[in-house]
């Protein structure tokens, strides 16, 4: 078992070697994490404060709630207002603001909105209430898509016709391409998401080195695992190399999880999807194949809603997600926008960059926002 002294010794050794490796480069390097769990873990462990000043850690679009467009939230709220509909969701979606309201407000007004812990819980609600249309808000990345696909397959097997998904699943590799194609992003390397790679494997990220000559390392979530991954990134950059490496080999395999991939492939197909702050990205999301369209509530009961602009007035969450600014650069951060009354999703979600800055960085009192 690793002791505090062991961790301090490892940290001192790794950071010293990073400084040695980075000195000849004569510039700062920008490493982006694209996983909300990494964002929170980095802040919680205080890693930003102990890394060499030549390293700038940038939080990218790794929070699924944060990148979900207002139009999706508006649709969920509209469905929740229908008498025969039960909306089921993970708890972090309740307070996410749409263009004018939130699911929490709809719930307070009498809508049947229920917090569940998995899509299979929503399936149980559908079984218990055959007179209701039970909709699960399928928001997430490759990590959650297999469970959502499994719920659809289970509904099919049980012959349930009142269970649906409202899909907003997104795929990580296409958004990474979009960031790298944007010169303003200036990303030198990626700390790759361990949870996603468990499902996808590491090979899905080979395009980073092959197409962009950008290093990527899959990392775990303990402080020592993150440091190890960052150290591997620095070694590559110092040597002028670019490849995808795995620092989370105890969990992640090059081929990923074939069974999970098979379930997703059976139920879903890639689709163009809108990302908050990034716009429409080709083939960056998932929609249900025509064979399973009966379980897609947007198909079964289409809505006609007014077009919604990206984001809310004054909220710069989209720029935070692209790594263009840090939360303290937003005039709302720590003032009008705090976790208790958040203006944008980056402050609402526990994995949001703004929420992490506020909770672990001291908010405006430390950073002067």
**Lowest mean per-residue pLDDT among 76-85, 248-257, 331-340:** 331-340
pLDDT of residue 2 exceeding 70: no
Q: By the 8 A CB rule, do 99 and 68 touch? A: no
pLDDT of 286 over the 90 cut: yes
* Residues in the chain, overall count: 369
Q: Give the DSSP letter of residue 237.
A: H
pLDDT, tens only, 150-190: 999 999 999 999 999 999 999 999 999 999 998 877 899 99
Would you say residue 30 has pLDDT above 80?
yes
Residue with the bigger pLDDT between 207 and 349: it is: 207
Give the confidence band of 367 by pLDDT, cuts at 50, 70, 90: very low
Q: What is the pLDDT of residue 363?
A: 41
101-71-304 Cα angle (round to 5): 100
The pTM (predicted TM-score) of the whole model is 0.91
156 is written with which tokens? 């099919």
Phi, psi values for residue 57, rounded to 5°: -90, 130
Average pLDDT of the chain, as a whole number: 92
Average of per-residue pLDDT across 241-262:
97
Question: Tokens 């909709």 appear where?
Answer: 135
Q: What is the pLDDT of residues 261-282, one digit of tens each?
A: 999 999 999 999 999 888 999 9
In this prediction, residues 218-232 reach a mean pLDDT of 96
- CB of 142 closer than 8 Å to CB of 197: no
Average pLDDT of the residues in 37-48: 93
27 or 5, which is more confident?
27
Name the phi and psi angles at 313, rounded to 5.
-55, 125
- Which backbone phi and psi does 12 adopt, to 5 degrees? -65, -40
d(CA 276, CA 70): 8
3-state secondary structure the chain: CCCHHHHHHHHHHHHHHHHHHHHHHCCCEEEEECCHHHHHHHHHHCHHHHCCCCEEEEECCCCCCCCCCHHHHHHHHHHHCCCCEEEEECHHHCCCCCCCCCHHHHHHCCCCEEECCCHHHHHHHHHHCCCCEEEEEEEECCCCHHHHHHHHHHHHHHCCCCEEEEEEEECHHHHHHHHHCCCCCCCCEEEEEHHHHHHHCCHHHCHHHHHHCCCEEEECCCHHHHHHHHHHHHHHHHHCCCCEEECCCCCCCCCCCHHHHHHHHHHEEEEEEEECCCEEEEEEEEEECHHHHHHEHHHHCCCCCCCCCCCCCCCCHHHHHCCCCCHHHCCCECCCEECCECCCHHHHCCCCHHHHHHHHHCHHHHHCC
pLDDT digits (tens, 9 = 90+) for 321-350: 998 999 999 999 999 999 888 888 899 988
pLDDT at 111: 97
């Amino acid at each position: 078992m690793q002791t505090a002294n062991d961790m301090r010794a490892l940290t001192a050794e790794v950071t010293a070697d990073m400084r040695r490796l980075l000195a000849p480069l004569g510039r700062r390097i920008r490493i982006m994490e694209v996983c909300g769990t990494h964002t929170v873990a980095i802040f919680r462990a205080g890693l930003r404060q102990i890394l060499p000043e030549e390293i700038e850690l940038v939080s990218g679009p790794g929070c699924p709630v944060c990148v979900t467009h207002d139009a999706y939230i508006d649709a969920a709220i509209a469905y929740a207002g229908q008498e025969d509909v039960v909306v089921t969701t993970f708890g972090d979606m309740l307070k996410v603001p749409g263009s004018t309201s939130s699911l929490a407000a709809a719930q307070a007004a009498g809508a049947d909105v229920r917090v569940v812990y998995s899509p299979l819980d929503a399936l149980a609600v559908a079984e218990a209430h055959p007179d209701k249309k039970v909709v699960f808000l399928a928001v997430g990345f490759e990590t959650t898509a297999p469970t959502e696909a499994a719920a659809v397959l289970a509904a099919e097997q049980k012959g349930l016709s009142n269970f649906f998904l409202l899909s907003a699943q997104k795929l990580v590799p296409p958004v990474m391409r979009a960031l790298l194609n944007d010169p303003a992003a200036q990303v030198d390397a990626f700390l790759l998401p361990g949870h996603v790679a468990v499902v996808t494997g590491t090979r899905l990220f080979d395009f980073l080195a092959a197409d962009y000559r950008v290093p990527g390392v899959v990392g775990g979530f303990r402080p020592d695992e993150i440091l190890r991954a960052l150290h591997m990134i620095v070694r590559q950059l110092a040597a002028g190399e670019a490849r995808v490496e795995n620092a989370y080999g105890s969990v992640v395999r090059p081929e990923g999880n074939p069974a999970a991939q098979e379930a997703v492939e059976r139920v879903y197909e890639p689709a163009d999807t809108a990302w908050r702050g990034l716009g429409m990205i080709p083939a960056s999301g998932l929609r249900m194949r025509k064979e399973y369209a009966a379980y897609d509530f947007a198909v079964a009961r289409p809505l006609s809603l007014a077009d919604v602009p990206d984001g809310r007035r004054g909220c710069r969450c989209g720029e935070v997600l692209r790594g263009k600014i840090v939360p303290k650069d937003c005039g709302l951060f720590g003032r009008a926008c705090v976790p208790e009354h958040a203006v944008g999703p980056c402050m609402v979600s526990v994995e949001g960059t703004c929420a992490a800055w506020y909770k672990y960085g001291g908010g405006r009192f430390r950073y002067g926002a």
